[in-house]
Amino acid sequence: MTKECFEKKTHEFIEHLKREGYAPSTIRVAYSAIKMYAEGYGVNLRLTNLPPIEEKIPPYLEEDEVKKLIDGTLCLRDKAIITLLYDCGLRVGELVELNTEDLDLKDKTIFIKSREKSRFPQRLPISEKTAKILEEYIKEYGLEEGMPLFPSPKGRERISTHTVYCIVRSWSERILGKKVHPHMLRHTTGVVLRKHGADMEAIRDFLGHKSDVTTRRYARIVPTELKKLPSRL
């Protein structure tokens, strides 16, 4: 079978699947199988009628759920961790790398030295509520400059990423009755920013996305209020 014949038949088959209402992801799986079959005959298929796959909104919490989770977390250290993960949309790796000097309570900002997927360091704003929680936490735990912001219970070593996952999951199951992971809090930040009118570029910069494709998933959220962004906490 010639390349032209392969492409013609495959094009017709893809259009048939569209008419039958198959999901874009299912159609692309079917095309991949046909493409592999064609390659066995030395034919490299290139189609232009493949449907785009819609970016799905990742799982996230509602704003009242986040408030309930934060307010219901009784351990001050764990409350500070959950609050900061959400308020700044941090990755777990970014959280555990923070030192006390990265936090400026006077200016209400936090400095991210090495965003994993960003080209340059970023200083992010924190809310009044987050600042107060962190101030209480630092005072109660006697943290000094040069120390990790979230040290392990054993001493000056940093808390592990596994421990952070366990903290978020444990409190979310107890308070919300659902399993929440730290990255879900980050997704929630993106969704909330979009709901309150932030554009894609602002969300991308705030979350430290390297690619616009990663941010595009939040485009399906319809802003409910195109005004100055209120505090998320």
**Phi then psi dihedrals of residue 99, to 5 deg:** -110, 165
226-231 contact pairs (CB < 8 A, 24+): 226/197, 227/196, 227/197, 229/193, 229/196, 229/197, 229/198, 230/196, 231/127, 231/128, 231/129
Q: Which amino acid is at 83?
A: T
For 227, residues 6+ apart whose C-beta sits below 8 A from its C-beta are 196, 197
CB 95 within 8 A of CB 208: no
Compute the radius of gyration of the chain from its Cα atoms: 23
- As annotated, the active-site residues are 91, 117, 183, 186, 209, 218
